[in-house]
Amino acid sequence: MVGNPRTLLKVLIGQQKMTWATFEAEFVRTAEKVLGPRARNLTLGESQFRRWTSGQLKTLPTPDACRVLEAIFHVPAERLFAPPKELADPDVPVLDLEAEIAMTAQEAQADASGAAAASLSDLTVDQLRDDVNELARAYSSKSPQTVWQETKALREKAEAGRDHTAVPAQQQALLILAGQASALLSQAAFDLGALDGAKRLARTAALYGETARFEPLRAFAAGSLAYIAYYSGQQSQAAGLARQALTFAGLGDVATRRLRAIEARAYGHLGDTASARRAMSAAENVETGATDELHDDVGGEFGFTRERVSMSNASTALLLGDGPGAEASARRALELAASRPPKQRSTTVLGKAAADLAMARLLSDDLDGAADALATVLSVPVDHRVTGLVNRAAGLRRYLARPHLHGAAVATELGEQLEDFTRGAPQRQLGTPYGPLALEA
């Protein structure tokens, strides 16, 4: 059913079977006759044509435009832009229904074409998804600087894509991809020692997750905010963030494992031994079979392997003063990592687990054992010396300077090597302070 036209102008245009193109040509010809040289300043675009015929104008067009329209239709401009009178009015020609249908069909087709233009190829979105996922999975094999540059470009592509589509499914997908890229940027910033930037980017990722209603991304970002908080000395806040993230719906076992390990570390910083041990046990033993689209299906930096759980629990045990427990967890982390194919081993996980093993041995005065473990730490390339590893190295250096080790040749040599190790780390460029406690990243 065709609705009544909203302006007399549309009725008259329909009667003469004018399209926008034919009306524009007539408008230009008439303007040249009526206005002379001033006609060069008068234009009529398609969007303006639609506003004129739809009844959306609040005021009349410019005086020059009104003069041209009155010359074409021989009707005052006020009448042209007002609703048409009853068809019985002898001053108003009878509505040509066929012309009205044709005009409406043309406008509907133009609107549909505009909507089609406001979309991306699904192949473009799929490729961007593949690129983000591949980068997440390759994170541990790349330096944080490389990850930062590559992820920054992908986040910008996701945001640019959102400006070029009005398709809800594509908007949803691009929101999630922009959020995942922001989460990876947060991790890279943290690994480089830029804590303020890491915090801001983690909050950005959480906001994307909230907007897209994608709970796994919100949980991952909350976990990141938690370990940034306890590294910044806000241990209670860290524990609260981890607990809050565990309440999000739709999380798989991997997500829960990661959050429990972070929660355990926060309690370790607080000196809450009972809560820390409960969270450590939960991280090791969660086995419900549940999965989610981020931590499991994408994985990589969004995942949390068994060796990362053991590595994190070794650090928590050190916070609790449990040297034997820390050594057992660190050794397990190293064994699990070594069992993977070389291309799947994380250099930073190996380095951090080895650093925790060295610290555990120092606590039992096993200086030679610590030296053996530190060989793995010191072999980590400069561009892979992330914040968590450098922080551990700084803690080891401080421990080797304790009075009871003064004068021991091995302790002196290791201390000098650790100074060189931290001196060359990227964090030195940012002036990042190193806390006394190990930390999971």
The per-residue pLDDT for range 182-195, each reduced to its tens digit, is 999 999 999 999 99
- Among 149, 151, 119, 122, which residue's Cα sits nearest to residue 134? 151
Does 101 or 282 have the greater pLDDT score? 282
User: In which band, very low, low, confident or very high, does the pLDDT at 94 lie, cut at 50, 70 and 90?
Assistant: very low
What residues have CB less than 8 Å from 162, skipping those under 6 apart? 171, 174, 175, 178
Residues 386 and 391: their CA atoms lie apart, in Å, by: 9
Amino acid 75: pLDDT? 85
Confidence of residue 110 (pLDDT cuts 50, 70, 90): low
Residue tagged 């409960």 (tokens): 278
- Do residues 291 and 297 make contact, with C-beta atoms less than 8 angstroms apart? yes
103-117, 200-214, 241-255, 367-381: segment of lowest average pLDDT? 103-117
The predicted model gives 326-339 an average pLDDT of 96
Q: Please check the confidence at residue 438 and state whether its pLDDT lies above 60.
A: no
Q: Is the pLDDT of residue 169 over 70?
A: yes
Domain 122-342: which topology?
1.25.40
Range of weakest confidence among 6-20, 223-237, 328-342: 6-20
Percent of the chain residues topping a pLDDT of 70:
88
pLDDT above 80 (res 381): yes
Q: Over 60: is that where the pLDDT of 88 sits?
A: no
Is the pLDDT at 62 greater than 50, yes or no? yes
- Mapped onto helix, strand or coil, the DSSP state of residue 290 is coil
- The pLDDT of residue 100 is 53
Whether the per-residue pLDDT at 428 is higher than 60: the answer is no
Q: Are 34 and 71 in contact (CB under 8 A)?
A: yes
Answer with the residue of higher pLDDT: 107 or 129: 129
- Segment 134-158 mean pLDDT: 95
Using pLDDT thresholds of 50, 70 and 90, give the confidence band for residue 109: low
Statement: the pTM of the whole predicted model exceeds 0.85: no
Local confidence band at 23 (pLDDT 50, 70, 90 cut-offs):
confident
Mean pLDDT of the chain: 88
Model pLDDT, residue 342 = 87
In a 3-state reduction of DSSP, which class is residue 407?
coil
Query: Is there a contact between 309 and 261 (Cβ–Cβ < 8 Å)?
Result: yes
Q: CA–CA distance from 409 to each of 84, 133, 371 (Å)?
A: 101, 48, 12
CB neighbour class for 57 (10 Å; exposed up to 12, middle 13-18, buried from 19): middle
**Percent of the chain, pLDDT > 90?**
66
Cα distance between residue 362 and residue 393, in whole Å:
13
* Cα separation of the two ends of the chain: 63
